[in-house]
Structure 1
Amino acid sequence: MKLELLNESAIQQQVTALPGWQVEGTELVKEFRFTSYLAGIEFVRRVAVLAEEMNHHPDLIVGWRKVTVRLSTHSAGGLTRLDFALAGQISAAEAPPSNLN
């Protein structure tokens, strides 16, 4: 099933509900910052699990104490509801699990 691209109005409405996320061209982007490099790596692991579950895989750029997430539905040529659904789940995964203190 092919996902439909969202129009500009729908994109703006969706991005407003996702603090820190912004639209750059045909991508939804957010930079996450961490207190250590390994905390960022653990976040990437959690994002990878979510991506596999949704079968929707973001581009991840790992740096020192930061991870940039870039979402786009490449098969549709831009942003779809799937990008915003995954962005919401990624934002929820930002906080480290309590057993990683």
Structure 2
Amino acid sequence: MEAGDIAARLADLDGWQLSPDGKAILRRFPFKGFAKAVEMANLAAWLGNRQNHHPDVRFGWGYCEVAFTTHDAGGLTDADFACAARLNELVA
């Protein structure tokens, strides 16, 4: 995927940013406490299973970070942006 396409797609995704290596899109969700961060991690995992496109998820007290990339393609594809958009819809 071209850099211009990535920038345009990111402009439509509230809260998401490009990873430093340009191969993933990332979003950090802040929470007050641990339980909500775990729930968010579970939601991202559920979505990944449902879409058959699994994110990388990190979480701890007060945060959950979700990253989408297409490992087989070595970078970003339409599937990454579709999953990020769907996750945004679920948490809206």
TM superposition score normalised by structure 1: 0.83
- Rg larger in 1 or in 2? 1
1:85 corresponds, among 76, 82, 86, to 82
Conserved 8 A contact 2:41-2:58: no
In structure 1, what is the Cα distance between the partners aligned to 2:49 and 2:57?
14
Unaligned runs of 5+ in 2: none
- Share of identical aligned residues, percent? 34
Kindly indicate whether the alpha-carbon contact (under 8 Å) linking 2:56 and 2:68 is maintained by their aligned counterparts in 1: yes
Are 1:43 and 1:93, in contact at CA under 8 Å, matched by a contact in 2?
no
| Gapped regions of structure 1 (runs ≥ 5) | 1-5, 96-101
- Root-mean-square deviation (CA, aligned residues, Å) is 1.1
Distance in 2 between residues matched to 1:27 and 1:12, nearest whole Å: 12
TM-score (norm 2): 0.90
Quick check: which one's helix share is greater? 2
Amino acid across the alignment from 1:22: Q
Kindly indicate whether structure 1 or structure 2 has the higher relative contact order, using CA contacts under 8 Å at least 6 residues apart. 1
Matched, 1:23 2:7: no
Structure 1's consecutive aligned runs of 4 or more residues displaced over 3 angstroms after TM superposition are none
